[in-house]
Amino acid sequence: MSRGLFEPQKIGEMAPASKALLYTALVAWSLFVIFPIYWLLITSFKTPAAVNEGPFFIPWVDFQPSLHAWRELFVLDFEDTMRAYVNSIVISLSATALSVLVGSMAAYSLSRIEFAPNLITILYFVALLIGSSVAIGIYDADLWLTLAVAVALFFLLARAVGRLYTVRLGNGDILFWIISQRILAPIVVVVPIYMMFQSVRLLDTHIALILTYAVVNMPIVVWLMYDFFNSIPRDLEESAQLDGATMIMTFREIVLPLSRAGLSATTLLVMIFAWNEYLLALFLSTSRAQTLPILVAAMNAGERGILWWTMSVAIIIMIIPVVVLAVVLQKYISKGLLVGAVKG
């Protein structure tokens, strides 16, 4: 018996009409997403003439593939390309490692320890910070002397000041403060960051970019990992503690294996952010620490016009590591790891 186009033929299947509609939509979307990448790929095998003569899409039919652009980037400009490539890898790997390491430790402590800092003490600290900055920057006070005085003042009076008026902050406030660092658009802070690194003579170095990326991405790590650590039942750690495990052993044997999925997802996300970052790199690097996005952008503004062919090659080699990383980490990003820990 036929049930018509709009009713499923069997229980648990889709109706033919909705199935057709769904697959059409999926195919259309796939084309929309994949086509630019295909275009990129074939453009990288075109000669400048083939690019300029018009949009050709089918190799060997429309145009003759050539290794012209690849040769240009990997033979003629080999040093520049490799420097940017290595820079990108070193900077994004180190920045990711640093921010995931520090950020997840912060997230773990926020999820396990109840903090109650006094707002007045914090304000006192900020006031001292501003005071010493003004003293050093405007009144030319001696750096070390001012610092020593400020530190002494803080430790001597922090408790007394805190007792004046007690306003306790909670973990939620700390968490919001951390994520609020991302509210400002990077363009707003890029000039102060530039001046800061200029004054310590670290412009155009790996360290400047690594530190900046690590700090910029830290809030994301804390935010994601906080949620993740919260989903691991405390009973597990308490049980391990009673079984005689030390803090480090508990972390290594229980917490770390259980948070692998969260750590992988966070690492991947932060890695992609750092890998693709353009604005900060534009300000902080000029030649030695130049990263791939800067290299690609530079081809946009050459004396010879836009170099579509070499740009395509650069973009392709830039995409590959991200895809590889995503494939490698994907198997760890699986749900249901916590099933069976508590209850049923």
Partner 1 sequence: MNVHSSEAVAKGISLRQMNKFYGAFHALKDLSLDVAPGEFLVLLGPSGCGKSTALRMIAGLESISTGTLMIGDRDVTEVLPKYRDIAMVFQSYALYPHKTVAENIGFPLKVAKMPKPEMEMAVRAAAEQVELGALLDRLPGQLSGGQRQRVALARAIVRRPSVFLMDEPLSNLDAKLRGNMRAELKHMQSTLGITTIYVTHDQIEAMTLAHRVAIMKDGELEQLGTPKEVYSDPETLFVAGFMGSPPMNFIEGSIKDEVFTGPGITLEAAGQGDCRQATLGVRPEDCTVVAAGEGQLDAMVYTLEMTGDQSLVTFRAGATPLVVKMPKDFEVAPDMDAGIAFAPMSACFFNLATGQRLRPTRGTR
Contact set with partner 1 (CB under 8 A): 233, 235-236, 238-246, 249, 253-254, 257-258, 336-344
Name the nearest CA neighbour of 213 among 296, 279, 259.
279
CB of 229 to partner 1, least distance (A): 15
Between 12 and 336, name the residue whose CB sits nearer to partner 1. 336
CB of 235 to partner 1, least distance (A): 4
Name the nearest CA neighbour of 267 among 326, 314, 318, 199.
326
Between 234 and 288, name the residue whose CB sits nearer to partner 1. 234
Sequence-distant (≥ 6) Cβ neighbours of residue 47 within 8 angstroms: 64, 66, 68, 309
Between 50 and 240, name the residue whose CB sits nearer to partner 1. 240
Mapped onto helix, strand or coil, the DSSP state of residue 59 is: strand
| Residue 63 dihedral angles phi and psi, to the nearest 5° | -150, 165
Tell me if 197 sits within 8 A of 286, measured CB to CB. Answer: no
**What ranges make up the beta strands (E) of the chain?**
none
| Residue 302 dihedral angles phi and psi, to the nearest 5° | -75, 170
Between 142 and 243, name the residue whose CB sits nearer to partner 1. 243
Between 116 and 145, name the residue whose CB sits nearer to partner 1. 116
Between 24 and 239, name the residue whose CB sits nearer to partner 1. 239
CB of 112 to partner 1, least distance (A): 13
CB of 97 to partner 1, least distance (A): 23
**Cα–Cα distance measured from residue 14 to residue 20, given in angstroms and rounded to the nearest whole number:** 10
**Cα–Cα distance measured from residue 186 to residue 85, given in angstroms and rounded to the nearest whole number:** 24
Between 207 and 342, name the residue whose CB sits nearer to partner 1. 342
CB of 255 to partner 1, least distance (A): 11
CB of 123 to partner 1, least distance (A): 24
Tell me if 109 sits within 8 A of 226, measured CB to CB. Answer: no
How would you class 220 by CB atoms within 10 Å of its CB: exposed for 0-12, middle for 13-18, buried for 19 or more? buried
CB of 246 to partner 1, least distance (A): 8
